[in-house]
A = this chain, B = another copy of it.
Amino acid sequence: MSYTAEDLWQVVERVRERGVRVHCLTNSVAQNITANVMLACNIVPSMTSSHDEIPAFIESVDGLLINLGTLDGKRRHGIRLGLEGAAKKSIPVVLDPVKVDRSGIRMEFAKDILRENVSILKANMRESAGLSGAVREDTLVVRTGNEDAVFGREVTHIVSNGHVYMDKVTGTGCALGGLLAGFAALEPNQELAMLAALAFYGVCGELAAEQAKGPGSFTPAFIDSLYGLEAEQFNERLKLETMNNKGGVVAV
C-alpha cells in the first residue's frame, strides 16, 4: 500500500479541524515545547503525572503519549496507570523510549511496557536496537532519524523531510510523540496517520529552517509553520518513498 501527498494532507486537515485530546506522560524538559507543538496543530494536551489524577484525565482523552525521558519511580507507576486507562478506553498509545540505551532500568521498563497495549513505538536507531526483540506483532514501529521509517506489514515507508536544526532544539523529538498520538487518535489507519504526522513535521522543519538564522529563531518559525502550513507547500516538499518489504520500491 502506498499513499499520495493528498492522502497525507487530508489527515493533517482533519487533525486541525477536529481538536483531539492527548494526555502526555512525558519528561519535564520537553513538556513546554510538546504542548506548544500540539496546540499549534489543534491537538489539546494535558500533562499531569499525578497518580490520583491520571485516571480521570485519561477518561476524557483520545490518545496517550508515554515518554521515558527523566524517568523516575513515580512516573513509572503513573505510566502503568495511564496504560490501564488507555486499555479500558481502547485509545492509541505512543511509546517514546528516550535514551533507553543509556540506562539499564529504563531499558527494562521499556521492554515491560512494550508487552502491553503500546500501539506505536517511536524510537531512533540507538534506542530501537535494544528493544527490537520485545516489540509485539501488533505494535507499529516508527524509526526516526535523518530518514524516518514506518515499518508496515508488507511495505516500509520512508520520509526524508526535516532539518538538522530539529536536533539542536531540546524536546523537538519528544514533541513529535505528542503529534503522533494525536494523529493516531484521529486516523484509524495507523500507517497513514504516522506518515502524515512525520511528513508534516519534517516539511514544517524545512520551511522554518529557511527562515531562521540558527536553532534559536528556528523554534518560533517551526511553531508558526505547524500552525499555518498550506497544502501546496506540503505537496511541493514531501519526500516519501515506499518499499516492498521483500525489496523493491513500490512508489515514490
Residues of A within 8 A of B (CB): 27-33, 35-36, 39-40, 45-53, 56-57, 60, 69-73, 99, 102-106, 167-171, 212-228
Contact = CB atoms under 8 A, between A and B. Distances in A.
Copies of chain A in the complex? 3
Contacts of A170: 32, 35-36, 39, 45
B228 A224 contact: no
B169 A39 contact: yes
Contact of A216 (B49, B72, B224): B224
A224 B214 contact: yes
A102 B60 CA distance: 8
A131 B57 CA distance: 19
A49 B72 CA distance: 8
Contact of A214 (B99, B104, B215, B223): B223
A126 B57 CA distance: 15
Given A216-B222, A217-B224, A228-B214, A70 B45 contact: no
Given A32-B170, A221-B216, A72 B50 contact: yes
A39 B168 contact: yes
Given A216-B219, A223-B214, A71 B50 contact: yes
A111 B184 CA distance: 37
Contacts of A102: 46, 56-57, 60
A35 B45 contact: no
